[in-house]
Structure 1
Amino acid sequence: MQSLIKLLKDGLNKPLPGIEAQYEMAPLTRAKIDVKTLEPNTYKKSAVVLLLHNNNGSCYIPLIKRHKYDGKHSNQVGLPGGKFDEGDGNLVNTALRELHEEVGIKKQDVEILGGLTPLYIPVSNFYVEPFVAFYKHDSINFNIDEREVKQLIQLNTSLLKLDSLIESEGIVSGDGYKLKTPYFNVEGEIIWGATAMILNEFKKLIT
């Protein structure tokens, strides 16, 4: 775990793999958009967090599966996070607030290592800043908000190094459209779209 944290601290302070790494896992029809070209105040700001934690000597990242609802991200697997609130002050605080609200992890138990490349999600008009963090203690206890989270999925970071984790076929999105896209298959759960793109950039930092 400590060697991985050191690797990430070094990698996050260098030029990041960036959108080239992210778009390896993008839907085939998705246009490449650099967030630097977006007009200010034309999108909704949000943040997510990749929280590294120890589990019996292995490193895991918690993912959350959302409930089925009438929306763009219905029943999808994502990272803890959500929309910026003015009271947050900045997007790091957004990520930490949402982490606490959704899975019960307090900000004082977390250390932010750095940020990955921001990403724009056209279908929902969200600008997302992903942050990498680690849980400071040896054992972790999640307290899931069942109103927001249907299921907690634990992703072993070592699995990200396996090409066999990546598949590509037609999938049905939350709003019912079928599309062709690469995705990560984690214990039968399909992880695609922005979450897969973020995880792929993270993967480049640890392989």
Structure 2
Amino acid sequence: MDFSVFSDIASKLKHLPLPGIAAQGKMTHPLRYQQMIRENPDQYSPKHAAVLALFYPDQNNHTHLLLIKRAVDGQTHSGQIAFPGGRRELCDPDHLSTALREAREEVGIQPELIREITPLTPLYIPPSNHLVYPFMGLYPHNQFVKDAREVEELIPWSTETFIEFPKYTEHVVTTDTGIKLSFPAFDAHGQT
């Protein structure tokens, strides 16, 4: 999708109601979805984090979403595919500041150049006890600099592969207790 067309669509999104947990539930295991509906994550005193779903044009002005593969460091989300972002620090006045700071640190963006920033529905992540606040933004450049301590790989993901022609795959995860769970996932260049 052409970046100018996508930008026009994105400018209208912030005025629409968010689909929330119902949309998140489509991409999780049915038991996890039931838990999402029943439980308030505040009961777990979660740590707060924020991420940035950053859309940008490639050299042909086609829209891409920037994903990262986290560096393997032994942490809970080590080696996982993610949006740039991380834990809220005391220096962050709000969740958006966290998302922008972390994206600057991890992939070298210039936060002041991001347009059409739209907050999305927060998501509780049980394995690390984080309540994640996602934001969507548009970035005019396609040059990024990864911090090798935090990011193993930058993954440009064309909107054609997940918006225009979405392909789902099944992904199996083994929990800390040894239970295998299967849930839908997107395939981003062989990464899920």
Settle same-fold status: TM greater than 0.5.
Answer: yes
Q: CA deviation at 1:10?
A: 1.6
Q: Percent identity?
A: 33
Write the distance in 2 (CA, Å) between the matches of 1:188 and 1:177: 24
Confirm or deny that 1:111 pairs with 2:151.
no
* CA displacement 1:69-128 (0-9 Å, x = unmatched): 323212110000000112110011101100110000011221242111111111111111
Confirm or deny that 1:91 pairs with 2:95.
yes
- What RMSD, in angstroms, separates the aligned Cα atoms of the two structures? 2.4
SS in 2 for 1:47: strand
* CA displacement 1:116-149 (0-9 Å, x = unmatched): 11111111111111101111x3x42111100100
Contact 1:47 / 1:131 at 8 angstroms: preserved in 2?
A: yes
* CA displacement 1:161-180 (0-9 Å, x = unmatched): 324x2111434579976421
Cα–Cα, structure 1 residues 170 and 152, in superposed 2: closer, same or farther, change >3 Å? same
Write the distance in 1 (CA, Å) between the matches of 2:99 and 2:175: 25
Cα–Cα, structure 1 residues 28 and 38, in superposed 2: closer, same or farther, change >3 Å? closer
Corresponding residue of 1:127: 131
Q: CA deviation at 1:6?
A: 2.3
Unpaired runs of 5+ residues, structure 2, are none
Cα–Cα, structure 1 residues 22 and 71, in superposed 2: closer, same or farther, change >3 Å? same
Contact 1:28 / 1:180 at 8 angstroms: preserved in 2?
A: no
Cα–Cα, structure 1 residues 118 and 106, in superposed 2: closer, same or farther, change >3 Å? same
Alignment of 1:182-193 (within 5 A): 182-190=184-192
Q: CA deviation at 1:185?
A: 0.9
Cα–Cα, structure 1 residues 173 and 111, in superposed 2: closer, same or farther, change >3 Å? farther
What's the TM-score once normalised by structure 2's chain length?
A: 0.87
Unpaired runs of 5+ residues, structure 1, are 191-207
What's the TM-score once normalised by structure 1's chain length?
A: 0.81
Corresponding residue of 1:140: 142
Q: CA deviation at 1:8?
A: 2.0
Write the distance in 2 (CA, Å) between the matches of 1:35 and 1:92: 27
Q: CA deviation at 1:41?
A: 8.3
Confirm or deny that 1:63 pairs with 2:60.
no
Write the distance in 2 (CA, Å) between the matches of 1:39 and 1:187: 35
Cα–Cα, structure 1 residues 113 and 175, in superposed 2: closer, same or farther, change >3 Å? farther
* CA displacement 1:46-83 (0-9 Å, x = unmatched): 10001111111200111110122323212110000000
Cα–Cα, structure 1 residues 101 and 147, in superposed 2: closer, same or farther, change >3 Å? same
SS in 1 for 2:79: coil
Corresponding residue of 2:161: 159
Corresponding residue of 2:86: 82
Contact 2:14 / 2:118 at 8 angstroms: preserved in 1?
A: yes
Write the distance in 2 (CA, Å) between the matches of 1:147 and 1:28: 35
Write the distance in 2 (CA, Å) between the matches of 1:27 and 1:98: 29
Confirm or deny that 1:52 pairs with 2:55.
yes
Cα–Cα, structure 1 residues 93 and 112, in superposed 2: closer, same or farther, change >3 Å? farther
Write the distance in 2 (CA, Å) between the matches of 1:133 and 1:84: 18
Contact 2:125 / 2:131 at 8 angstroms: preserved in 1?
A: yes
What is the aligned length?
Answer: 187
SS in 2 for 1:186: coil
